[in-house]
Amino acid sequence: MHEMSLAHGVLQILEEAAAREGFGRVKTVWLEIGALAAVEPDSLSFCFDVVTRGSLAEGARLEMLRTPGTAWCMPCGRSVALADSAGACPLCGSYQVQVTGGTEMRVRELEVE
């Protein structure tokens, strides 16, 4: 389950931000997660709760904002929405698509004390 390592990574980002910015507690974390990032939201939420126990983010609310998947279709020559990284172009049905967005995950915003 790679969500555990993702949750550890998020906690590390929070700890680094706290050291840099001088806050002591995280109340809410907003994560942007691409539709093609292969992240299971329920698993990530569970793992986040586990790894933040005893930390500055214990009890913090985790808000996940989904961003769409996008790809460049070579036959169409257009940017298209993509729901699956192995999916076909919704316009022409071609599988000659190159994913251009929606694979990322980042901390977008924090509410802190």
Predicted local confidence at residue 102, as pLDDT: 96
Predicted local confidence at residue 36, as pLDDT: 96
Predicted local confidence at residue 1, as pLDDT: 61
Q: Tokens 């907003």 belong to which residue?
A: 30
Per-residue pLDDT tens digits for 26-39: 999 999 999 999 99
- Spans in the chain with pLDDT lower than 50: none
Burial 43-72 (b: 16+ CB within 10 A, else e): ebbbbbeebbeeebbeebebebeebebbbb
pTM, to two decimals: 0.87
Q: Where are the domains of the chain?
A: 3-112
Q: Show Cβ contacts of residue 48 under 8 Å, excluding neighbours closer than 6 positions.
A: 7, 10, 11, 29, 57, 60, 62
CATH assignment of 3-112? 3.30.2320.80
Give the rounded percent of residues in the chain with a pLDDT score beyond 90. 96
